[in-house]
Amino acid sequence: MTYADLTWNDPDPVKRWLQRRRIYDALAQVPAGSAPRVIVDYGGGDGVLAEQVAQHWPQADVVVFEPYPELAETARTRLAALDRVRVVEHERDLPRDVDVVFCTEVFEHLPDAETDRALWEIDRTLRPGGRLIVGVPVEVGVPALFKGLFRQARRADAYDADWSRIWKAALGRPCTDRPPEEMGPGRRYHSFHLGFDHRRLRKRLEAAFGPARIVGSPAAFAPVGINSEAYLILTKPETAPMSHVARDDRPADKAARYDEVIDEIFAVLAGETNVTARMATVASMLADAFPDFIWAGFYVVDPDRPRELVVGPYQGKLGCLRIPFGRGVCGSSAEFRRTEVVEDVHAFAGHIACDSRSKSEIVVPVFNPAEELTAVLDIDSADYGTFDLVDAKALERLTWGLFTSSEEAKAALAGRQKAPGPDDIDQLTDH
């Protein structure tokens, strides 16, 4: 069954009408008289929206981003006669300084890590002052109940036809157990709409782009809560692009929090091979995810002084500029090529007090694909005993996957990530 069979060509006439209506409503979110030069359809599917966009603004260059090859090929076939439209499958091929980004029927399918990646890519693509138009289904309240009845009639045994889940969504408390699936290397998605909450997405969009205007579809004059679809319209502020969308709903369990943020880091850095960019992103996202980290960053082996570390990308107060091998926690980690977990830095022989607030510390060595030491990842806390084996294994998995594995380094060019298996991690931590 094709995407068109599930949408534009669905046997139900009401659903077919709603699908066509949402295209009309998406176009209506661009102010009358606007003359955008470059438009992106992010997650463009089979190209139906892009086809209408190209006809509506014939002077504009239109780029369809569709990462799934089968859908991308369908879009290319549909749009072949339109000279100013092209289809790309990789984020790196997206243009910059875009005037309008449409993103419809996308975010309801994305797990958290993939959502963060999409927000980051859209932010990087859209010019300051550019308009973002996000279309998503309303899956809470009254619409959830009616959609649940429709799904019950079609597929009574499916995840989204379960009455307990339907009632929770109708009461405004949708379930959070939607099963993710794979649609390609490093690309997960949710096939079911039930469980998606447009209110939560709105908060994340507003954290990235500022206040959002929200309208319902198909009845824009009525409250969103009785519409089947919602459009969120945002304008990118006149600021530098964000590096990451801050989260305030992290798991309390430390291991689960590491799992979540590491997935997000891999997603954000997919396709990025520049080591400095990777280090800066790791430092920023770890500091964001763990408020107890007062300093998080890298000391890099100086190629001109191979027995000396020089400060690299970091988050926190002013760091030590240089640290010799063998001195302090960082120097010890570099000297012995091992992770150092220190419960009390004041009890560590030769500790270097770069920040007087520091009471505990973890330092993880970083190796290149030839397993040559290139840096150390240093994290400090203002509390004693913050770090343990959970931190060590998680951070070793992160640094190994990003900086060491030659397979991972090659896969990054294609937007994929590979982390080490349990045996690899045990070898690193058993010292």
Q: What is the pLDDT of residues 36-75, one digit of tens each?
A: 999 999 999 999 999 999 999 999 999 999 999 999 999 9
Same domain flag for 20 and 81: yes
Same domain flag for 126 and 269: no
113 pLDDT band, cuts 50/70/90, is confident
Residue 195 near residue 166 (C-beta atoms within 8 A): no
Query: According to the model, what pLDDT value does residue 174 have?
Result: 94
Whether the predicted pLDDT of 353 surpasses 80: no
Query: According to the model, what pLDDT value does residue 407 have?
Result: 53
120 pLDDT band, cuts 50/70/90, is confident
Same domain flag for 342 and 384: yes
Query: According to the model, what pLDDT value does residue 20 have?
Result: 83
- Residues pairing with 164 in the sheet: none
Same domain flag for 226 and 283: no
Task: Measure CA 425 to chain center.
Answer: 25
12 pLDDT band, cuts 50/70/90, is low
Distance CA(367)–CA(371), nearest Å, equals 5
If we measure between CA atoms, which residue out of 294, 298, 276, 207 comes closest to residue 244?
207
Which pair of structure tokens corresponds to residue 138? 């309303």
Q: Please tell me whether the peptide bond between 251 and the residue prior to it is cis, using omega within 30 degrees of 0.
A: no
DSSP string, 347-407: GSTT---SSTT--EEEEEEEE-TT--EEEEEEEEESSTT---HHHHHHHHHHHIIIII-HH
Whether the predicted pLDDT of 431 surpasses 70: no
Query: According to the model, what pLDDT value does residue 59 have?
Result: 95
Query: According to the model, what pLDDT value does residue 187 have?
Result: 77
Distance CA(72)–CA(59), nearest Å, equals 23
Whether the predicted pLDDT of 278 surpasses 70: yes
Element (H, E) at 78: helix 69-79
264 pLDDT band, cuts 50/70/90, is confident
Report, as an integer, the average pLDDT of 310-336.
93
If one counts every other C-beta atom within 10 angstroms of the C-beta of residue 22, the result is 21
Same domain flag for 274 and 374: yes
Same domain flag for 106 and 49: yes
Which pair of structure tokens corresponds to residue 286? 């770890």
- Residues pairing with 64 in the sheet: 41, 87
Which residue range(s) make up the domain with 286?
A: 254-429
Same domain flag for 268 and 204: no
If one counts every other C-beta atom within 10 angstroms of the C-beta of residue 66, the result is 23
- In the chain, how long is the greatest CA-to-CA distance? 75
Which pair of structure tokens corresponds to residue 314? 């970091």
Q: Is residue 211 in some structural domain?
A: yes
Same domain flag for 331 and 217: no
pLDDT, one tens digit per residue, over 194-236 is 999 999 999 999 988 989 999 999 998 999 999 999 999 999 9
* Residues in CB range of 278: below 8 A, 6 or more apart: 269, 272, 402, 403
Handedness of CA 174, 180, 181, 183 (dihedral sign): positive
If we measure between CA atoms, which residue out of 297, 232, 281 comes closest to residue 117?
281
Same domain flag for 281 and 322: yes
If one counts every other C-beta atom within 10 angstroms of the C-beta of residue 389, the result is 10
CA torsion, ordered 146, 150, 151, 155, to nearest 10 deg: 150
Query: According to the model, what pLDDT value does residue 410 have?
Result: 44
Q: Which of 14-28, 108-122, 379-393 has the highest mean pLDDT?
A: 379-393
Report, as an integer, the average pLDDT of 392-406.
87
10 pLDDT band, cuts 50/70/90, is low
End-to-end CA gap in the chain: 53
Same domain flag for 377 and 231: no
Q: At what angle do helices 422-429 and 389-399 cross, to 10 degrees?
A: 120
What value does the mean pLDDT of the chain take?
86
Report, as an integer, the average pLDDT of 352-371.
86
Whether the predicted pLDDT of 417 surpasses 50: no
User: Please, what is the Cα angle at 155 between 44 and 231, to 5 degrees?
Assistant: 35
**50 in the Ramachandran plot: left (φ > 0), alpha (ψ -120 to 50) or beta?**
alpha
112 pLDDT band, cuts 50/70/90, is confident
Q: Is residue 76 in some structural domain?
A: yes
416 pLDDT band, cuts 50/70/90, is very low
If one counts every other C-beta atom within 10 angstroms of the C-beta of residue 51, the result is 21
Same domain flag for 215 and 273: no
Number of domains in the chain: 2
Same domain flag for 388 and 310: yes
Distance CA(293)–CA(180), nearest Å, equals 31
Q: Which of 4-18, 248-262, 361-375 has the highest mean pLDDT?
A: 361-375
